[in-house]
Structure 1
Amino acid sequence: MARLYVISNRHLLVSGSLVDLAAGLAGVDYLQLREKDLPAGELYSLARQIKEVLPGGTRLLVNDRLDVALAAGVDGVHLGEKSLPPAAARRLLGPEKILGVSVHSVEGARRAAAAGVDYLLFGHIFPTASKAGLPPRGLGALAEVAAGVDIPVIALGGITIARVASCLAAGAGGVAVMAAVMAAREPAAAVAALRQALDRKPLEY
């Protein structure tokens, strides 16, 4: 199960490339390659390069592009709630690959779980610059979704080290971050701090 999930955004990098950053992601369970502005050929090439340098234990997923995920031979794919239906994606991926879906409600979570996905991303939990102007769903909604399905729910949106414990206490199996790692001056140190927070005994919600 993924406890620490990192979503890529090469435009946030302080220095170096995504390939450089990926090589230092020891402690990350899932890395989602989410570079929506890249054409398929460049995304495929990037996925192949990242796959070669990822530390052992870190799984690589491609956002939305099932074709690229299959062609590049990565570990799985992550779909949006309005992307290809999860059941169709599962048929193409087979039973061994990882399939995740972003959801925004208990009903959406239950539909995705019934379609055979392995995990859900739910958010945004806290205020975040990437969703400026949109109210966060909050820990209560996270708790409802986590209680409504029997697969892991990963909390997304405004996640900081100080907020990890409350997400776990609400029932999240892990947390997902983007800027906390992508925009960090020392990404490996950011990963280590998040991992330490995840490995502490969770609070009671």
Structure 2
Amino acid sequence: MYKKVNTDMEQSDILCITNRRLCGTDFLAQVEKIAGAHPKAMILREKDLSEQEYESLGAEVIKICRKYNTSCILHSYPQAAGRLECKNLHLPLSVLEQMTVKERKGFSVLGASCHSLEDALVAQKLGCTYITVGHIFDTDCKAGIPGRGLDFLKEICSKVKIPVYAIGGITPENIKKVKEAGAFGACVMSGLMKTADPVKYLEAFKERENEIQ
């Protein structure tokens, strides 16, 4: 039913979203542990950094990810991704819409953050190879804003032909509901940034996913 994002993303259905401010230890050390646990990919989402700062950090994270054959997806800065020769990029939809067709086609993996069915359809039309959709469940990252829920996720999954990754409050305990709604996988930020054992944490998702089969 779904296309693969790329052949390097075979290990897991979980995309790691980074946030170094949630990391209680050295950020790059945590990145290395996560990369070694082989998530689907790691999206370097450090949006508070300047483009120069982000590019410098991106070079380090790409190096770590390559060491473990884990895909690194850069975020927010297409030009920085180009200079780093990284063909994987995730963008807010508003930034994606400003890119030319040629610029978009320069990336083999292209994702966008979507918050409505309209967003999802636009992202698909613009050539995204996957999208993230949320937030699905209540989460501390969106305190006071109710999650959009599984029906919202299910509708989008039924209307687009590219992989949908749910984001927002996703845990091993609710991954089964997310997959049953039609999502290809899910995004996790806090859990992976804070865990001392990313391998065990991702295995917990797999165990629950296998219950679906």
Structure-1 residue corresponding to 2:85? 73
Alignment equivalent of 2:193, drawn from 171, 176, 182 = 182
Query: Is structure 2 residue 90 aligned with structure 1 residue 105?
Result: no
Matches of 2:114 and 2:89, distance apart in 1: 15
Using the TM superposition, give the Cα deviation of residue 89 of structure 1 relative to its aligned residue in structure 2, in angstroms: 5.6
Equivalenced residues, count:
200
Q: Is the 8 A contact 2:96 2:112 kept in 1?
A: no
Cα gap change, 1:187 to 1:90, in 2 (>3 Å):
farther
CA distance in 1, matches of 2:208, 2:70: 18
Gaps of at least 5 residues in structure 1 are none
User: Structure 1 pair 171/129, CA: closer, same or farther in 2 (3 Å)?
Assistant: same
Give yes or no for contact 1:90–1:99 (8 Å, CA) kept in 2: no
Unaligned segments of structure 2, at least 5 residues: none
TM-score w.r.t. the length of structure 2 is: 0.86
Q: What is the CA–CA distance in structure 1 between the aligned matches of 2:95 and 2:150, rounded to whole Å?
A: 26
Code of the aligned partner of 2:192: V
Partners of 1:89 and 1:129 in 2: how far apart?
A: 35
CA RMSD of aligned residues (A): 1.9
2-structure distance, mates of 1:49, 1:188: 21
CA apart distance, 1:201 = 4.1
Query: How far apart, CA to CA, are the structure 1 residues paired with 2:166 and 2:107?
Result: 24
**Contact 1:59–1:75 (CA under 8 A) maintained in structure 2:** no
Residue 95 of structure 2 aligns with an amino acid whose one-letter code is S
In percent, how many aligned pairs have the same letter?
Answer: 31
**Could you state the TM-score of these two structures normalised by the residue count of structure 1?**
0.89
Residues 16 and 76 of structure 1, relative CA distance in 2, 3 Å threshold: same
| Structure 2 CA distance for aligned equivalents of residues 72 and 96 of structure 1 | 12
Q: Report matched runs for 1:1-205 at 5 Å.
A: 1=4, 3-17=13-27, 19-24=28-33, 25=35, 26-54=37-65, 55-85=67-97, 88=99, 91-94=102-105, 97-198=108-209, 200-202=210-212
Alpha-carbon distance in structure 1 between the residues aligned to 2:73 and 2:101: 14
| Mapped partners of 2:161, 2:15: distance in 1 | 19
Checking the alignment, whether the CA contact within 8 Å between 1:14 and 1:185 is kept in structure 2 is: no
Cα distance, 1:89–1:197 mapped onto 2, change above 3 Å: farther
Provide, for residues 55-80 of structure 1, a one-character-per-residue CA deviation record: whole Å limited to 9, x for no partner.
54421111111111111122411111
Q: What is the one-letter code of the residue matched to 1:178?
A: M
- SS in structure 2 opposite 1:78? strand
Find runs of 4+ consecutive structure 1 residues off by over 4 angstroms: none
Secondary structure at 1:83's aligned position in 2?
A: helix
CA distance in 1, matches of 2:78, 2:107: 15
